[in-house]
Chains A and B, each alone.
Chain A
Amino acid sequence: MKILVVEDEYEMLQSIEASLLAENYLVEKATNYNSALEKVLLYNYDCILLDITLPGGSGLKLLEEMKKNDMSGNTIIISAKNSIDDKVMGLELGADDYLTKPFHLAELHARIKAVLRRKEFDGKDLLRIGNVSINHKNRQFFIDEKEIELNRKEFDIMVFFTANLNRLIDKETLAEHVWGDHIDSADNFDFIYAQVKNLRKKLRESNASIELQSIYGVGYKMVEKDL
């Protein structure tokens, strides 16, 4: 999988790159409009992470160019501007998703995987990890080919963790992903523990080859069990 990261902030670019490399993606970088345009026109990428404010031109302009050349690049806009207009325009110009900075890397991975999945398998994919499989389109979850009933939130949590296998997800990141942006009060995340507890129970009862580890009250990590 080849991913192009278009980002003018070097430090930001670095950390995104490091995170993507850890997932074994091939990463190409562009730090300004012209080099990004050149790369986009010359090579094929499975996914493009695109900042809007770039030296030399706007990311939206790049999208326009791509659209003109009939290229679909599986683009995710990453922008510090939480502007609805930009979001709408970006999506209209063919971007697949819009992520506002600052974001969690786990969230970025989930979005990238969702975009790749949609394009690559036309949504008919079946993700397999050990004896566990997920049909994203039909929102079904199987262990040993046997369907396990999950409620809406449980399924979302499961997908988020499978997109971030072996990565520690703190509870704030999880809450934000599943319950949306407005969960800003660290009030108490007891209800998250309750949901995760249910999931763990279901995984354990069906002898799943994955498990959700609780990490020191910080969050959870999905790992494959040594069978």
Chain B
Amino acid sequence: MKIKLSSYLSFRLLGVMLTVLFIWSAVYFFVQMREIHAGIDEGLENLKQEFIRKAGTNPNFIEDMEKYRPLNIIVKEVDFYDAKDEAERYITTKVYFETEVEEEEVRMLESYFFCSLNGKYYSLKIFTSTVESDDLIKNMLYTLIALWLGLAIVLMIWGRIYINKATKPFYSVLDYLEKFQLGKSGEIDMPETSIKEFAQLNKTVKKMLRSSTEIYNEQKNFVENAAHELQTPLAITISRLELLMNEPGTTDIQIKEIHKILQTLNRMKRLNANLLLLTKISNRQYWKTDSVDLTALFEQVLGDFSDFAEHKNIHLSIVRKATITVEMNSDLAYILATNLIKNAVIHNINGGRLDMVFTENTIVMSNSGLNKPLSDKMFSRYKTGEDKMDSSGLGLSIVQSIVELYNFSISYSYQENLHTFTLRL
């Protein structure tokens, strides 16, 4: 699955931020705990010093301690050997408080001292309440989650708004390129951008498209000019040969030879005319539109070909479920109908058939013909059937050009020896 750029950036950014935040939180937690404990430990140490000083000067101090039992100091007499090697230590532990009816976390100093008044050794435990690390972790986690969520929401919204805004020029270029059709699309109009890369992209794309369009137009004009310029020499050659053919004294062989040349010239003439037609269609020189009754037009053109059809004993059937009227250039409509029907009649077989069905928005033509489907390149220029040397091979590409011009569509299928063209309007 492809992900949008803004989502990708937001997610990535969010991921990095969450990781950093998590590590930072952990570090912060430990630093904070150590700082808290350091402060408490200092207090405990002071308390201990005071306690030992008092125990060394007040003879009743130990007895009083045992008598009053203050809550946070525990004094016990120990053997010399027990006390001798023991070092002082600070620990975090739990102590049961009756008032709270639960164990509380405390910071405790365990130490030993020697009372010079009675010459005894004692163990000393002084403790005080400290920050509940569980609670701290919990609280930190909650605030962290809140922060994460907040960040996520902000990032998502930010991503949507700012990244989209920042990448707008990029998307407009993308959109334009996607819809771009050489020779059809106008000059690209791109929004101003303050981002260097996008400005560069805009500039490059503009430059590229402009030069492509220029080359395309030049080529089109060349084809049109070439085809046009060829008309006159062709006309001269044809008329001169026709004169020669009728010259008295021309022999049979000469007449036959001249005729062959004329046939070739005729082919050239048609090729040229079709090329001109193609360039004119793609140059949108047929801009005048009328309301054209395609049903009537197709039937009329079919009538024009009735001689061929009759001669080949082609069985014609026309089913008219609807009358189709479209807005288009009437000359192009005629050319469209002629090329399609000519194709279906000329390439038909003796005793074949041609079925035409008109519906609301389709014209379906099925005809018999070669016992194999046409090449899938039949709509491109110069791909003719192998057995037809005299057709220009431009008929179907002219059809295609007209179909494209009006955003119609045409499809081809081959089934049970029937070639079917479906024209969708």
Give min CB distance, A216 to chain B, whole Å: 5
Cβ contact within 8 Å between A153 and B307: yes
Cβ contact within 8 Å between B232 and A12: yes
CA distance A27 to B193 in the complex (A): 71
In the assembled complex, which residues on chain B have CB atoms less than 8 Å from the CB atom of A227? none
Contact of B235 among A102, A184, A187, A191 (CB under 8 A): A102
Is B304 engaged at the interface, CB distance under 8 Å to the other chain? yes
Contact of A182 among B246, B265, B342 (CB under 8 A): B342
In the assembled complex, which residues on chain A have CB atoms less than 8 Å from the CB atom of B311? 190-191, 194
Is B218 engaged at the interface, CB distance under 8 Å to the other chain? no
Q: Which secondary structure dominates chain B's binding surface? A: helix
Cβ contact within 8 Å between A82 and B252: no
CA distance A218 to B253 in the complex (A): 11
Residue among A81, A84, A195 with the highest chain B CB neighbour number at 10 A? A84
Give min CB distance, B380 to chain A, whole Å: 19
- Contacts A15-B240, A186-B390, A216-B252; A101 near B231 (Cβ below 8 A): yes
Number of residues of chain B lying within 8 A (CB) of chain A: 42
Is B120 engaged at the interface, CB distance under 8 Å to the other chain? no
Cβ contact within 8 Å between B256 and A12: no
Q: Mark A174-215, 1 if CB is under 8 A from B, else 0.
A: 000001101011110011001100000000000000000001
- Contacts A80-B228, A168-B245; A12 near B259 (Cβ below 8 A): no
Cβ contact within 8 Å between B266 and A185: no
Cβ contact within 8 Å between A172 and B262: yes
Cβ contact within 8 Å between A80 and B231: yes
Q: Mark B327-341, 1 if CB is under 8 A from A, else 0.
A: 000010000001100
Is B273 engaged at the interface, CB distance under 8 Å to the other chain? yes
Give min CB distance, B78 to chain A, whole Å: 122
CA distance A142 to B311 in the complex (A): 27
CB nearest neighbor in B for A178: B307
Q: Mark B144-158, 1 if CB is under 8 A from A, else 0.
A: 000000000000000
Give min CB distance, A154 to chain B, whole Å: 11
B300-329 residues at the A interface, CB under 8 angstroms: 304, 307-308, 310-311
Contact of A84 among B238, B308, B331 (CB under 8 A): B331
A61-96 residues at the B interface, CB under 8 angstroms: 80-82, 84
In the assembled complex, which residues on chain B have CB atoms less than 8 Å from the CB atom of A80? 228, 231-232, 235
5 sampled A-B residue pairs with Cβ under 8 A: A80-B228, A105-B239, A191-B311, A217-B256, A218-B259
Binding site for B on A (CB under 8 A): 9, 11-12, 15-16, 18-19, 22, 80-82, 84, 101-106, 153, 167-168, 170, 172, 179-180, 182, 184-187, 190-191, 194-195, 215-219
